[in-house]
Structure 1
Amino acid sequence: MASQDAKSKFDVFIEEKYIPLDQKIKLGIVAGIVVALIAGFYFAIFAPNIETIKKLEAEKSSLQKDVEKAEKAAENLEQHKAELEEAKKRFEEISIVLPKTKEIPALLTAISDHGTSAGLDFNSFTPGNETPKDFYAEIPISISITGPYHNIGYFLDQVSKLERIVTVKDITLGGPQQVEGEMLLKSTCNLLTYRSSSEAASDPTKKKKK
């Protein structure tokens, strides 16, 4: 009922204001008013929403890129962690075979202990001066031992299997002696061990003064 009253009032308004106009013109005026209302609705409500949507879409796209970057960074981080762990492991392995200066005396003691355990007598045990190389230093050790042939061979084999790199070279055997029914030989050889050159060179035979 209310809508009919509103329509009647609108018709009366048109009739009173535009009676001289024919029906087509009246329809054109009504259509213009409707278009104006629609345009007003568009600019008042729809257009601002379009701008908001555009901004949200742009923000969404930017956030998506940030998410992708974060995911990629996380993947790279895991890869870097794995590479770091592998590098640490390799460093530890190299540190074992290339001891630091302070570990050389312990290595020399280990070599001497292996000789004693093999039943050998040390006639001499003389570490020499270091020879610097590119990334390491050589430490020569001259030894003279006396014992049974098989014991000497066992000792040299054990020394070559130490965790630290020890190279056996210039082996000589001679001076056989029969002692209590056992043939003893005198052997001389040179051992080469190595240390990391990241530290300053020092004489391995010298102990620190307290």
Structure 2
Amino acid sequence: MELGLNRLPWYGQVGVFLVVAVALFVVFRIYYVGPRLEVQAERQVDLDGKRAEVAQARQDAIELAAFQVEVDDLNNRLDALSAVLPEQQEVSQLLRRLTTFANDSNLTIRAFRPQATVAREMHSEWPIRLELDGTYHNLGIFFDRISKFARIINVSDVVIRAKEPPELNLTIAAECTATTFVLIDPPEAEPVAAPAT
């Protein structure tokens, strides 16, 4: 008996052809296409991860720009506040300024006594005891000039007494405490080391 495809009826030949074709397709799929699909799936996962990193980097860049604007704004505010709250005691400058205010207000400074500073969290208070001679109106002008000074100066513990005997333009003796503020620099934070990659 001779085996050959020619002896099979046409539908048998088609059936054998289909079985061989399916077998070849399965072998092709298992040994060639399957590994390629796995590699492609791994690459797709890597690509999705890289796209997520790029999206996060873009978001970080946007946030960095916003943070930079905020830092610049805060630095500008700090510079403006540093003019109002200096970082060191400027005794001679403050004495000159208070003397100028007193002279412009027709007052005489009898005493200028700096007191001990009082440390607070972000600033220190620096009280200065003043003794002044003049008129009540001139004392009001002096306090008004202090209130308009760029640097913060609080006036407290005001004691006003009539001068005995009163003289021309010297009817009162006043004592007060002028408290100014000095900005304390926070200690420098140690830089944080970047994690090794």
TM-score by length of 2: 0.71
Matches of residues 8-27 of structure 1 in structure 2 within 5 Å? Answer: 17-27=4-14
Shift of 1:44: 7.1
Query: Is 1:159 aligned to residue 146 of structure 2?
Result: yes
Deviations 1:129-186 (A, max 9, x none): 323344433322222222333222111121133222212123214216343xx56433
**What is the distance in 1 between the residues matched to 2:59 and 2:175?**
62
Q: Which residue of 2 aligns with 1:138?
A: 125
Q: Which residue of 2 aligns with 1:80?
A: 67
Q: Secondary structure at the match of 2:151?
A: coil
Among candidates 15, 29, 35, match of residue 16 of structure 2? 29
**What is the distance in 1 between the residues matched to 2:131 and 2:19?**
119
Shift of 1:77: 1.4
Shift of 1:105: 3.1
Q: Secondary structure at the match of 1:101?
A: coil
Unaligned stretches of 5+ residues in structure 2: 187-197
Partner amino acid for 1:160? S
**What is the distance in 1 between the residues matched to 2:154 and 2:4?**
118
Deviations 1:12-62 (A, max 9, x none): xxx993444444433322223333454465467654553454234223311
Partner amino acid for 1:107? L
Shift of 1:65: 1.0
Shift of 1:113: 1.6
Shift of 1:112: 1.6
Q: Secondary structure at the match of 1:191?
A: strand
Unaligned stretches of 5+ residues in structure 1: 1-14, 200-210
Aligned residues between the structures = 183
Q: In 1, are the aligned partners of 2:125 and 2:182 still within 8 Å (CA)?
A: yes
CA RMSD, aligned part only?
A: 3.2
**What is the distance in 2 between the residues matched to 1:57 and 1:37?**
28
> Where does structure 1 differ by over 6 angstroms across 4 or more consecutive aligned residues?
none
**What is the distance in 1 between the residues matched to 2:120 and 2:12?**
106
**What is the distance in 1 between the residues matched to 2:10 and 2:113?**
127
Q: Which residue of 1 aligns with 2:109?
A: 122
Q: Which residue of 2 aligns with 1:174?
A: 162
Q: Which residue of 2 aligns with 1:105?
A: 92
TM-score by length of 1: 0.68
**What is the distance in 2 between the residues matched to 1:68 and 1:132?**
48
The percentage of aligned residue pairs carrying the same residue is 24
Cα 1:28/1:136, change in 2 over 3 Å: closer
Cα 1:41/1:133, change in 2 over 3 Å: closer
**What is the distance in 2 between the residues matched to 1:153 and 1:19?**
128
Q: In 1, are the aligned partners of 2:89 and 2:182 still within 8 Å (CA)?
A: no
Cα 1:110/1:46, change in 2 over 3 Å: same
Among candidates 39, 42, 45, match of residue 58 of structure 1? 45
**What is the distance in 1 between the residues matched to 2:140 and 2:61?**
55
